């Protein structure tokens, strides 16, 4: 069985040593596509030219210590990014001695600044019932992880919630209170099962300080509590400025978040075109910027789907489709 083979591979001496190591700086990747890619026959070659599993490559060759996994409620394919699929990959990460971040999208598909649609099964719920559903769904998911032997270190309650989540009820521009209360429902459910898990509020566009202030001021107004402010940074995708301007504005924003709310910050998503000649330089700059957040409150950086190559049109991975090997973008994590 594929999962068992991977677990045996990962449970080597190096993995056992890593399980007791405490990392001061988070370096990681979201690898949520991995099961689907493997089931479609994708293979991965390490920097030395040998076929190897992705988690071992990320851990052993690039010093990564964290895996992030997205959760969809009822995905259309019935499996990938479902809780069952997430548990499979979380077991791989645990076997590799890596910490785990769970990313609730609260949708059946992608949740991002332009798409935060409720799961179809929740579409007709009243607002009170929707809050109850967010709580019970989140709690049941946490219990399932716990029963599987998984203890997430961080949990995102929503993904890129620049205008809230669970639209239209939780659209922040329509009703900030509703968004805050839905967030509170998810946050409280996580803490009931895993009191020590760190709660992340995650927004896209790290350079957009005005949006961050608006959302976090709104959450604070309605009594929300969170542990970490997470941000996405795709510097080459920012219009109207150079990538270096985008990363500098990102740092300015992260420093403001620390000053304004007294919370730790991190980049939970970073990505650069795989064939960009400056890819390593850009990723290294993002890592450096997070390391230079004021008061040492920049926690780390995670690459989004680095293993993706020739996959669903996505071009911001860090794998060469011709060689099936990592690009030098990942070498930035070696610092």
**DSSP per residue over 266-306, as a string?**
EEEEE---TT-TTHHHHHHHHHHHHHTSGGG-EEEEEEEST
Catalytic member of 36, 38, 84, 160: 160
**Active-site annotation holds for 269:** yes
Cα–Cα distance for residue pair 155/168, rounded to 1 Å: 23
Question: Which pTM value belongs to this model?
Answer: 0.93
Angstrom distance (rounded) from CA 335 to CA 330: 10
Q: What is the pLDDT of residues 252-287, one digit of tens each?
A: 999 999 999 999 999 999 999 999 999 999 999 999
Q: Say whether pLDDT at 17 is over 80.
A: no
On whether the 2-206+214-231+301-318 domain is CATH 2.40.30.170, my answer is no
How does pLDDT run across 126-180, given as a tens digit for each residue? 999 999 999 999 999 999 999 999 999 999 999 999 999 999 999 999 999 999 9
Of 84, 192, 269, 335, which is the active-site residue?
269
Start-to-end C-alpha separation, the chain: 36
pLDDT tens figures, 226-246: 999 999 999 999 999 999 999
Distance, CA of 71 to CA of 108 (rounded, Å) = 9
Produce one character per residue of 126-152: b if its CB has 16 or more CB atoms within 10 Å, e if not.
Answer: eeeebbebbbebbbebbeebeebebbb
Give which of 209, 202, 203, 273 is closest to 235, Cα–Cα: 273
């Amino acid at each position: 069985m594929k999962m068992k083979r991977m677990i045996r591979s990962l449970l080597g001496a190096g993995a056992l040593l890593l399980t007791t190591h405490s990392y001061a700086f988070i370096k990681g990747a979201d690898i949520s596509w991995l099961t689907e890619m493997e089931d479609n026959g994708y293979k991965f070659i390490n920097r030395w030219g040998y076929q190897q599993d992705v988690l071992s490559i990320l851990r052993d060759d690039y010093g990564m210590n964290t895996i992030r996994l997205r959760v969809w409620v009822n995905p259309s394919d019935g499996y990938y990014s479902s809780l069952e699929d997430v548990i499979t990959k979380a077991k791989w990460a645990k076997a590799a001695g890596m910490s785990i971040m769970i990313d609730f999208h609260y949708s059946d598909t992608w949740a991002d600044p332009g798409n935060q649609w409720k799961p179809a099964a929740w579409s007709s719920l009243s607002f009170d019932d929707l809050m109850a559903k967010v709580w019970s769904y989140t709690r049941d998911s946490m219990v399932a992880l716990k029963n599987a032997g998984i203890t997430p270190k961080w949990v995102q309650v929503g993904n890129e919630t620049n205008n809230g989540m669970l639209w239209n009820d939780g659209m922040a521009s329509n009703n900030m209170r509703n968004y805050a209360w839905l967030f509170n429902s998810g946050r409280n459910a996580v803490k009931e099962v895993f009191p020590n898990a760190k709660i992340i509020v995650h927004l896209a566009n790290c350079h957009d300080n005005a949006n961050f202030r608006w959302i976090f001021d709104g959450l604070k107004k309605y009594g929300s509590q969170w542990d970490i402010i997470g941000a996405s940074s795709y510097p080459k995708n920012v219009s109207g400025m150079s990538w270096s301007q985008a990363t500098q504005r990102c740092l300015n924003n992260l420093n403001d978040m620390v000053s304004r709310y007294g919370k730790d910050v991190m980049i939970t998503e970073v990505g650069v075109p795989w064939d960009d000649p400056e890819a390593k330089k850009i990723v290294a700059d993002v890592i450096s910027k997070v390391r230079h957040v004021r008061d040492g409150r920049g926690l780390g950086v995670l690459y989004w789907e680095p293993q993706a190559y020739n996959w669903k049109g996505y071009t911001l991975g860090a794998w060469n489709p011709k060689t099936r090997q990592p690009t030098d973008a990942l070498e930035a994590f070696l610092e």
